[in-house]
Structure 1
Amino acid sequence: MGETAAVALPLSKTWVKTHTNLSADALGFNYRVTWYLLYCGLWGGFIHFNSGYDVGVAGGLFTKKSFLTRFYPDFKGSSDSPYCQYTSFDLALYSAMLYFTMVPGAFLCGYLIRYYGRISAYHACAWLNIIGVIVQITAKDSNILLLGRSICGLGEGFGFFVFNLYQSEIAPAQLRGKFVGSVIIWSASGVTLGQLTNFLVKQREDGWQIAIAIIIVPSALITINALFMTDTPISLLMRGKKEAARKSLQKCRGVVDVDAELRSLELSFTNRTSTNDAFKLLFSKKKYWPGVIINVAVYTLLNWTGNMAIVYYGPQIFSLLGMGSSVALWNATLVGGAKILGVFIGMYFMDTKLTRRSLLQIGGIGQAVFLIGTAVLFATSVDDVKGAQVSKGIAAAILVMIIMYEIVFVGFQCAPSLGLAAEMVPIEVRPATFPIVSIFYFSQSVALSISFTYQLCAMLWGAFLFMASFALLLFAWGRWFQPETHHIPIERVPTVLKAHPVWRHFYPPEDVEQAERELEGTATPSPPISKAVSEELKGSSSSDGEGAAAPAPAL
């Protein structure tokens, strides 16, 4: 496990321009891959297993008669159209309830980790999930069921806040994309296990309780393994523990000489801001707007290219093809398995073979092709009449299209998007940026989870074309608007933004000129936090909470 850092790829092998003069290698950030680094990265990302499992289980619950009889006895399903048979506000509300409480969970997490470190959020996430599951499986009516799901939502808010932050801070800059993107392995595994569990307990009267209760196991594993994970160096620095930060950095980098990286972290942290000051800077200085705009765009595209809808309502989509519920659940499980394959494909290309922007562009075109193909098959083969069925060949073709879509989504959109979101926001405005982005993202998630069955009923096969349009927007975004951060340390990303053809217009001309010279190698890189910011914030408090990159989407 003692490999040295890989050198940044030549420009001819990356599709798009990279910035080698600001790379971690050029700045002297040393590292070796150690077992302890892999251990922290493994369990740091495992927290996303819970959200994946929840998504995988939730859709299948609606096919279980015992679940519907107990909590939604009035639900009969539509008899007019195969596209409308699962249209129900009550069922959609159960799916959406998780996202309603994620926002307060994320806000609470921000204050918790400010005073008690990143690891404390892992414990909070796990225990809230355990409590929420117990409330759900013992519920006697739908109100208590929704209460339990709300508690789980609080836990997921903690998890979504901390995992991206922890992974991006613990990883060497040269491997940050792989570490942040690797959490999708756990999310995809959670989706697959959730859908497989639905299939295996289909015939049991208490099957829905077993399916929900299984999440207690990974939550317990999180609480145990978090005891042995180190807090991140920047978190320790922010709590005045410089020597502990140095030791943490040495353990995570596998080398003794970490002075260059530690000094860079100290400079980026020295002028951190309170929440009030961060909002003041964000709204008064347009040079901070690109980070917010990019995060909002990335998460909008993650939501509306259709992945969440397909995963949540996979069993319902396959049921409308005339398949039995067992076959529909099994096909949904195959789709979940395709996610895992997509993760490994994405990890193979991430940071080594292709850059972030290259992956986004490939992902946009690939998703559009398979979504349009799915729409054509539905339009030509699924009649909008009661009891409509399709041939086995058409059903298999639709399954293949959806599987290929999921592989492309996970490997070429989700993996790079998580890294990009973690990188784009300067530390001095993170406390303000995160609440804005998280509210925007979670509100979209609520809208999508509630509206998809209505959208499918109203638009029929056109719903897939609607998703494809956002996939094409993803290509356009990656091609013309997304800055490249391949191998760039997080604290140096603002330099790349300043030199970008689109985002340079948000910065003073002198900052743009300095950034261009740094990227060309004709000027010494400036400190991560400018003197101007230091003067603006002179005398301000820095103990009023903390921000981070926006949360990752549910898979």
Structure 2
Amino acid sequence: MAGGAFADQGPVRHYEGRVTAFVLVTCFVAAMGGLLFGYDLGITGGVTSMDPFLEKFFPSVYKQMKAGVHENTYCKFDNQILTLFTSSLYIAALVASFFASATTRLLGRKPSMFLGGLFFLVGALLNGFALNIAMLIIGRILLGFGVGYCNQSVPVYLSEMAPAKIRGALNMGFQMMITIGILVANLINYGTAKYRQGWRISLGLGAVPAFLLCLGSLFLGDTPNSLIERGQHEQAKAMLIKIRGTENVDEELQDLIDASEEAKEVHHPWRNITQPKYRPQITFCCFIPFFQQLTGINVIMFYAPVLFKTLGFGSQASLMSAVITGVVNALSTLVSILTVDKFGRRILFLEGGFQMLICQIAVGVMIGLKFGVSGQGSFSKVEADVLLFLICAYVAAYAWSWGPLGWLVPSEICPLEIRSAGQAINVAVNMFFTFIIAQIFLFMLCHMKFGLFFFFAGFVVMMTIFVALLLPETKNVPIEEMHLIWKTHWLWGKIVPLSRMPSPNVGYNRKAINL
């Protein structure tokens, strides 16, 4: 494996093999777990803006909105009951992520993906056929368990199956599926909004990708790492031969076995992940998902129709604007897939942060000048188009940076002994702050008004500085060699002992890593 994070001055361990059709198909099926997450992200905002849905399950909210209780534009949709419908799923996902961690470690990545799909399938059907609020909430909880299991297992599965030189692109298949799920959900909402029972179609169709994931996972093989972790060395070798397309896998297999043997010495991954030698991993597994949510992206993903309605767009125009941002989201994620293994993670993080900052400040200024503090005003057609362009540019920047990289980097930096625990922390932090933002956004919009966009812009500044100072480049580094990148970092090198010695055929020096 040439080049990459170890640069050109020292050769990196080179494993034989090619990118096989089998590994591409396998990763595509696994990445469908992201389709479930994306579908729910996109479907909720549209459904909660449909009058028949509100009339049936939230009649008091419907009456309040129709009666025009709030004259201030910023406060049109400020209702905690309504936001709880959206946000409750993510508390369930947070709880599920810890159960999923044990399942992923003890039973393998494949069973976790199947369980995630099964939970989501039952939850989507319950929501689609809901007759009362109890069925709706139980369905949301099951959807949350599905999201928790899929978000725990899929990124780890993809990172372990993919060859190092295209690990970034294949892992980002998860984020690509999330964006496709959001886009499909927005299109379905746009098509079903005119029907009285359209909300049932929107919620129930989530069962389709869930069924496909359940079915597909039955035919997937587990990762070599997971098989070795459970003592199945012969099966691991057979899988490695299959996914690398060569019989000569002994060197890579031995590295995986060595990593697994070291991992077995760690009997308490949750306790050990707090040790100084894992300080970089726990830092990024906590702060990357934290900052990912504090970009404010889920304000757009959850509430795009509501937000556009608040800013003066009509009902159909609001849904269509959400579709447009969904298209931009999907296309921009494709840009990231095509560039992440060529240009690296850091440059995408930094460029994305800068672009998001500019767009958020511009949106805040536009809304502030038009609506002021009173919330009275409206956009002209030209102004609305400019606003939509800025929001799309913001979504694009997120979609090729903090969106996919927020799942890729934490899944690839953790050694096997703490990988499940690290991913569980990543998912839990992500779900917790997703819940917080989903629950309080409409309240914050009502009280902070246009200042809300400057609030999120402040976090974008912080997270961009965070990456610039603390994240070394990880592109093209084999996943079991990832521990080497910390030793040459200006901060982590003082904290992390080089516990594993590099192989004799690995050139390793400070200049060999792009920091």
Is the 1:136–1:144 contact (alpha carbons within 8 Å) kept by the matching residues of 2? yes
| Aligned twin of 1:174 | 165
Indicate whether 1:118 and 2:109 are aligned.
yes
Is the 2:285–2:423 contact (alpha carbons within 8 Å) kept by the matching residues of 1? no
Indicate whether 1:325 and 2:315 are aligned.
yes
Is the 2:350–2:468 contact (alpha carbons within 8 Å) kept by the matching residues of 1? yes
Runs (5+) with no aligned partner, structure 1: 10-16, 526-555
| Aligned twin of 1:28 | 14
| Aligned twin of 1:502 | 491
| Aligned twin of 1:161 | 152
| Aligned twin of 1:82 | 73
Q: How far apart are the structure 2 equivalents of 1:125 and 1:522?
A: 42
| Aligned twin of 1:553 | none
Relative distance call for 1:265 and 1:20 in structure 2 (3 A) is farther
Once the two structures are TM-superposed, the CA of residue 412 in structure 1 deviates from its matched residue by: 2.1
Relative distance call for 1:326 and 1:274 in structure 2 (3 A) is farther
| Aligned twin of 1:185 | 176
> Which residue of the other structure, out of 402, 411, 434, is the alignment partner of 1:445?
434
* Aligned residue type for 2:49: T
Is the 1:81–1:384 contact (alpha carbons within 8 Å) kept by the matching residues of 2? no
* SS, match of residue 271 in structure 1: helix
Q: How far apart are the structure 2 equivalents of 1:386 and 1:496?
A: 50
Q: Deviations over 1:77-99 (max 9, x none)?
A: 35221111111111111111111
Q: How far apart are the structure 2 equivalents of 1:386 and 1:437?
A: 37
Number of residue pairs matched by the alignment:
505
Q: Deviations over 1:32-75 (max 9, x none)?
A: 12211110111111111011011111011121111001100001
Indicate whether 1:246 and 2:257 are aligned.
no
Once the two structures are TM-superposed, the CA of residue 343 in structure 1 deviates from its matched residue by: 1.0
Is the 2:10–2:509 contact (alpha carbons within 8 Å) kept by the matching residues of 1? no
Relative distance call for 1:431 and 1:505 in structure 2 (3 A) is same
- 1:451-530 matches, within 5 Å, as 451-508=440-497, 511=498, 521=508
Once the two structures are TM-superposed, the CA of residue 22 in structure 1 deviates from its matched residue by: 7.4
Relative distance call for 1:390 and 1:165 in structure 2 (3 A) is same
Indicate whether 1:39 and 2:30 are aligned.
no
Q: How far apart are the structure 2 equivalents of 1:438 and 1:417?
A: 10
User: TM-score, normalised to structure 1's length?
Assistant: 0.86
* Aligned residue type for 1:291: Q
Relative distance call for 1:184 and 1:65 in structure 2 (3 A) is same
- 1:75-224 matches, within 5 Å, as 75=61, 76-77=64-65, 78-224=69-215
Relative distance call for 1:504 and 1:519 in structure 2 (3 A) is farther
Q: Deviations over 1:511-533 (max 9, x none)?
A: 49978x9986479x9xxxxxxxx
Once the two structures are TM-superposed, the CA of residue 442 in structure 1 deviates from its matched residue by: 2.1
Q: How far apart are the structure 1 equivalents of 2:80 and 2:195?
A: 26
CA RMSD of aligned residues (A): 2.4
Relative distance call for 1:418 and 1:386 in structure 2 (3 A) is closer
* SS, match of residue 139 in structure 1: coil
Once the two structures are TM-superposed, the CA of residue 280 in structure 1 deviates from its matched residue by: 3.6
Once the two structures are TM-superposed, the CA of residue 383 in structure 1 deviates from its matched residue by: 4.9
Relative distance call for 1:108 and 1:275 in structure 2 (3 A) is farther
* SS, match of residue 313 in structure 1: helix
> Which residue of the other structure, out of 428, 432, 445, is the alignment partner of 2:417?
428
Q: How far apart are the structure 1 equivalents of 2:158 and 2:255?
A: 18
Q: Deviations over 1:317-366 (max 9, x none)?
A: 110122211110110110011011111111121101x1111111111101
Q: How far apart are the structure 2 equivalents of 1:518 and 1:468?
A: 46
Q: How far apart are the structure 2 equivalents of 1:227 and 1:387?
A: 55
| Aligned twin of 1:369 | 358
> Which residue of the other structure, out of 51, 64, 67, is the alignment partner of 1:65?
51
Once the two structures are TM-superposed, the CA of residue 114 in structure 1 deviates from its matched residue by: 3.3
Is the 1:381–1:394 contact (alpha carbons within 8 Å) kept by the matching residues of 2? no
| Aligned twin of 2:216 | 225
Relative distance call for 1:145 and 1:521 in structure 2 (3 A) is closer
Q: How far apart are the structure 2 equivalents of 1:367 and 1:263?
A: 44
Indicate whether 1:257 and 2:248 are aligned.
yes
Indicate whether 1:355 and 2:344 are aligned.
yes
Q: How far apart are the structure 2 equivalents of 1:275 and 1:497?
A: 20
Q: How far apart are the structure 2 equivalents of 1:412 and 1:187?
A: 14
| Aligned twin of 2:285 | 295
Q: Deviations over 1:220-267 (max 9, x none)?
A: 111222232221111111222212111111111112211111111111
* Aligned residue type for 2:385: A
User: TM-score, normalised to structure 2's length?
Assistant: 0.93
Q: How far apart are the structure 1 equivalents of 2:278 and 2:156?
A: 19
Is the 1:126–1:219 contact (alpha carbons within 8 Å) kept by the matching residues of 2? yes
Q: How far apart are the structure 2 equivalents of 1:304 and 1:392?
A: 30
* SS, match of residue 268 in structure 2: helix
Is the 2:13–2:505 contact (alpha carbons within 8 Å) kept by the matching residues of 1? no
* Aligned residue type for 1:72: F
Q: How far apart are the structure 1 equivalents of 2:506 and 2:231?
A: 33
* Aligned residue type for 2:200: Q
| Aligned twin of 1:381 | 370
Identity %: 25
Q: How far apart are the structure 1 equivalents of 2:352 and 2:305?
A: 24
> Which residue of the other structure, out of 295, 304, 324, is the alignment partner of 1:305?
295
* Aligned residue type for 1:266: I
Q: How far apart are the structure 2 equivalents of 1:215 and 1:262?
A: 39
* Aligned residue type for 1:32: R
* SS, match of residue 29 in structure 1: coil
* SS, match of residue 55 in structure 1: helix
Q: How far apart are the structure 1 equivalents of 2:509 and 2:192?
A: 64
Q: How far apart are the structure 2 equivalents of 1:233 and 1:513?
A: 20
Q: How far apart are the structure 2 equivalents of 1:113 and 1:513?
A: 25
Q: Deviations over 1:270-329 (max 9, x none)?
A: 12248852234334x322222101221111111100111111011111101222111101
Relative distance call for 1:434 and 1:44 in structure 2 (3 A) is closer
Relative distance call for 1:131 and 1:279 in structure 2 (3 A) is closer
